[in-house]
Structure 1
Amino acid sequence: MVEILKTGLYDSIQDLGRLGYQEFGVPISGAMDHYSAKLANAILGNQDDAAVLEFTLMAPRLKFQSDTAICITGMESQAKINEKPIGNNSYTVVRKNDVLSFGARKFGCRGYLAVLGGFQSERIMESRSFYKCITNQQRLKTGDVLKLTDLPIPIKRSHSILKTPKTHFESGVIEVFKSIEYELLEADNQNRLFNNEFTISKDSNRMAYQLDERFENAMDPIITSPVLPGTVQLTPAGQLMILMRDCQTTGGYPRILQLSEMAFNRLSQKTPGQTFRFHLLTL
Structure 2
Amino acid sequence: MSQVQVIKPGFYTSIQDLGRLQSACYGVPQSGAMDRLSAQKANLLLNNAEDAAVLEITMTGPELLFEAACQIAICGAHFEVVLNDSPLERSKAYTVASGSRLRFGGLKEGFRAYLAVSGGFLTEQVLKSRSQYAGITQKARLEKGDVLPYSASETRKSSTARVNFQDSGLFHSKIEVFKGPEFELLEEPLQQALFSKDFSIAPTSNRMATGFNELLPNTLKGIVTAPVIPGTVQLTPNGNLIALMRDCQVTGGYPRVLQLSEKGISALAQKRPGEEVGFELEGE
What is residue 246 of structure 1 aligned with on the other side?
Answer: 247
Alignment of 1:87-102 (within 5 A): 87-102=89-104
Structure 2 vs 1, CA of residues 223 and 173 (structure 1 numbering), >3 Å: closer, same or farther? Answer: same
> Equivalents in 2 of 1:261, 1:83: separation in Å?
36
What is residue 128 of structure 1 aligned with on the other side?
Answer: 130
Is the partner of 1:106 in helix, strand or coil?
Answer: strand
5+ residue gaps, structure 1, are none
**8 Å CA contact retained: 1:89, 1:163:** no
> Equivalents in 2 of 1:214, 1:160: separation in Å?
46
Structure 2 vs 1, CA of residues 275 and 158 (structure 1 numbering), >3 Å: closer, same or farther? Answer: closer
> Equivalents in 2 of 1:111, 1:170: separation in Å?
12
What is residue 210 of structure 1 aligned with on the other side?
Answer: 211
> Equivalents in 2 of 1:119, 1:173: separation in Å?
33
> Equivalents in 2 of 1:68, 1:179: separation in Å?
44
Residues 150-179 of structure 1: CA deviation (Å, up to 9, x unaligned):
4x3324648333487784343111111111
What is residue 228 of structure 2 aligned with on the other side?
Answer: 227
Residue-pair matches, total: 282
What is residue 73 of structure 2 aligned with on the other side?
Answer: 71
Alignment of 1:66-215 (within 5 A): 66-150=68-152, 152-155=153-156, 157=158, 159-162=160-163, 167-215=168-216
**8 Å CA contact retained: 2:45, 2:93:** yes
5+ residue gaps, structure 2, are none
- Picking from 6, 15, 18, the partner of 1:16 is 18
Aligned AA for 1:259?
L
Residues 62-97 of structure 1: CA deviation (Å, up to 9, x unaligned):
011111111111111121111211111111111111
Structure 2 vs 1, CA of residues 3 and 139 (structure 1 numbering), >3 Å: closer, same or farther? Answer: same
Residues 103-157 of structure 1: CA deviation (Å, up to 9, x unaligned):
211001001110010001100111000011111110100110110124x332464
Aligned AA for 2:211?
Q
> Equivalents in 2 of 1:78, 1:210: separation in Å?
28
Aligned AA for 1:58?
T
> Equivalents in 1 of 2:85, 2:190: separation in Å?
52
Residues 19-39 of structure 1: CA deviation (Å, up to 9, x unaligned):
111011011000001110001
**8 Å CA contact retained: 2:92, 2:159:** no
What is residue 260 of structure 1 aligned with on the other side?
Answer: 261
> Equivalents in 2 of 1:76, 1:239: separation in Å?
30
Is the partner of 1:11 in helix, strand or coil?
Answer: strand
More deviation, 240-249/177-186: 177-186
What is residue 39 of structure 2 aligned with on the other side?
Answer: 37
Aligned AA for 2:225?
T
Residues 2-27 of structure 1: CA deviation (Å, up to 9, x unaligned):
00101111010000010111011011
What is residue 279 of structure 2 aligned with on the other side?
Answer: 278
> Equivalents in 2 of 1:212, 1:199: separation in Å?
6
**8 Å CA contact retained: 1:65, 1:97:** yes
**8 Å CA contact retained: 1:169, 1:270:** no
Aligned residues: CA RMSD:
1.6
Aligned identity (percent) is 46
- Structure with a larger share of its residues in strand: 2
Structure 2 vs 1, CA of residues 163 and 77 (structure 1 numbering), >3 Å: closer, same or farther? Answer: farther
**8 Å CA contact retained: 1:232, 1:241:** yes
Aligned AA for 1:190?
Q
Superposition deviation, residue 273 in structure 1: 0.5
What is residue 3 of structure 1 aligned with on the other side?
Answer: 5
> Equivalents in 2 of 1:160, 1:95: separation in Å?
19
Calculate the TM-score normalised by the size of structure 1: 0.96
**8 Å CA contact retained: 1:15, 1:31:** yes
